[in-house]
Structure 1
Amino acid sequence: MKKAIFIIFLLSAGQIFSQSDFKFFFKLSRPIKTWVIFHPFKAKKSLRISLETNKVADSVAKTNLLDKDAAGGQVDAFRHAYWMARLRQEMGKSAARSLGKAHEKENYLTYKKRKLEDGVVPDEISSEMDLFNNDQGLKLTRKRSKTSRNSLVYRIVNAIKSGKMKIIKKDKKGNFLTCNGKTISAEELKGKWKNNKCLVVSSEF
């Protein structure tokens, strides 16, 4: 069954993917590969939007619009919300949401391999934050919406500042805190998918 689906993917995608694209495909994680197989005509578009999202988030991080924190902070929330909003604009809500979920499955595999994502090892609370912010991003636009990218940026920034998204609680030095405000040591976090990090509203930083 899986082999048959993959052959269909190759036949259907052959007209829109180059040889270099196929090499890139084989480097993807299993969850993302599965998404590509079921969305072959949206895969290339999703890659373009993903690259666009990283550039826009990096640009926002260099301004004073948000907290400059790309690993659990407002910029992290922005990146996920913008990614989902742009994906929904161009390919619809269902495909966008399923790609977001595939990405979080990928993060769990990254954790299992003890690899880094945005400079830190992924964990459960980060995944919860991402999924929540993904859903908020999906609410900010519609498929084929004519909302400009600049308007979308400010729409998301305003949503973050008004507390409609989630970030991870930290102190001014960037140390993770429990919901009671206790500093969590690096040793307490090391190698743990579940930990005592705390999600707070995105206006709290």
Structure 2
Amino acid sequence: MATWSEIKQWQPDVIGQIGDQLAAQTKLVVGLQDELDGAKPAEWSGEAAEAADSDLRARRQALEELAARLSAAVKVIDDAELSVRELVRGVEATEDHATRNGYRIENGEVVKTEHATGLLTAAILQVEVQALLAQAAMIDTDLNSVLKRILSGEIDDAGATTLEAAAEAGEDRVVDEQRHRELLAKYQVKTDGMTTWPSGLTGWLAERAGFNKERITEAEAKLLDDLQSRKGLMGLKEFAEIRQTALHTAEGKFEGKGLTDGHADAFRHAYWNALMTQRYGEQWAGEFATAHERNPSSHHVPVGMDLHNNEVGRQIASANPDASPEELATLVEQAVKDGRMVIIDKNDTLVPSNEANPGETRDTRSNPWPTDNPDRGNDRDPGKPSATPDQY
């Protein structure tokens, strides 16, 4: 993590110069397209021509990958320049604020002088310093993440057939990753304990009514216990039917492709939340869907996808309170097609649902996510569920 003294020395102009140089190199590479297209005479044939053609294809591919990586580097460096300019302005303003109030900043700590004006000012300054250090860390992390991907060859031309298209693919990849990080920063939730539900007398009765015990989060169990106390086993049966309706309907959408982390999965979560919102209200539906994502074995990327799509489903239901289940399904399906949902692409990146075709998303069934996710303990804690289901 960068120190206060280090970020005071960051120079956005130098970063900008590097970006300009790389942009010029990208332009030169993309400008080679005409030479590539005219490199082989149309009338040339024979073994020598075939060998030359093979060599030309290899060179074309290498140039396309170079164009993609150069363009990605230009994008991330240009973004870093803008971010560093903003950071430097913040550092200068905070240093000035400290000086005017009798403080100085050393090693990221606010130190008072004999002219210090008060503890409140010191506390405000310390918050400003920590925010700027966190901003610097994010800039550093984002820049290094993309540059490492470029150097490792993870960023490629995405199947482009021209140098210009390859350059666009490289820039698009950076944009996708930036959006991915923003989505994960917003759509996360702290993990919860797990419990077997139903249990006790409710469990005994539920088993005889055809329910199977399952492992769910403690927050889910609390909400379901409350639902059962209000509406009995028939209320639980209705809830289970809503979930099954969402699952079975999803299996018939997008040819059943992407039932895990893909288009059908996005539909299922949104439709389930839409149906719950109509039956129980948006607040209760939101609390239950969020509680469901607090399973500690769930990876943060699909959790982010689900939380986002759950929210869109509730929004659709709230905007269409009189829609039938069939009409809701149509609205949700269209939202997936329009890119209002997110899915996980083959690069493990959250992208809009209209940026990949059904069946061309992450193959999670063959490549399961890890189940040990200790970092999720630092995510947002929604607190204990408190909503009561509407209509009861």
Q: Which bracket does the TM-score occupy, shorter chain normalised?
A: 0.5 to 0.7
Residue 29 of structure 1 aligns to a residue whose secondary structure is: strand
1:165 paired residue among 318, 341, 352 = 341
Gaps (5+ residues) in structure 2? Answer: 1-198, 357-392
Counterparts of 2:319 and 2:280, CA distance in 1: 7
Change (3 A) 1:94 1:102: same
Question: Are 2:237 and 1:44 aligned?
Answer: yes
Measure, in 1, the Cα distance between the counterparts of 2:307 and 2:316.
15
Equivalent-residue separation in structure 2 for 1:23 and 1:79 (angstroms) = 22
Q: Structure 2-normalised TM-score? A: 0.35
Query: Whose relative contact order is higher, 1 or 2, with alpha carbons under 8 Å and at least 6 apart?
Result: 1
Matches within 5 A, 1:4-83: 18=206, 20-21=208-209, 24=212, 26-31=213-218, 32-40=220-228, 41=231, 42-62=235-255, 68-83=257-272
CA distance in 2: counterparts of 1:55 and 1:47, whole angstroms: 12
Give the secondary-structure state (helix, strand or coil) at the position aligned to 2:351: strand
Question: Are residues 1:147 and 2:298 paired?
Answer: no
Q: Judging changes above 3 Å, is the alpha-carbon distance between structure 1 residues 37 and 124 closer, same or farther for their aligned structure 2 residues?
A: same
RMSD, aligned α-carbons: 2.8
- SS at structure 2 position matched to 1:146: coil
Provide closer, same or farther for how the CA distance between residues 143 and 45 of structure 1 changes in structure 2, counting only shifts above 3 A. Answer: farther
Stretches of structure 1 that go unaligned for 5 or more consecutive residues are 1-8, 112-121, 171-176, 178-196
Larger radius of gyration: 2
Instruction: Choose 127-136 or 39-48, whichever is displaced more.
Output: 39-48
Scaled by the length of structure 1, the TM-score of the pair is 0.64
Q: Which residue of 1 aligns with 2:299?
A: 123
CA distance in 1, matches of 2:270, 2:246: 10
Higher helix share: 2
Equivalent in 282, 304, 307 of residue 93 of structure 1: 282
Q: 1:141, CA displacement in angstroms?
A: 1.3
Conserved 8 A contact 1:90-1:144: no
2:156 equivalent to 1:156: no
CA distance in 2, matches of 1:73, 1:23: 29
Matches of 1:23 and 1:164, distance apart in 2? 35
Q: Could you list the runs of 4 or more consecutive aligned residues of structure 1 that deviate by over 6 angstroms after TM superposition?
A: none
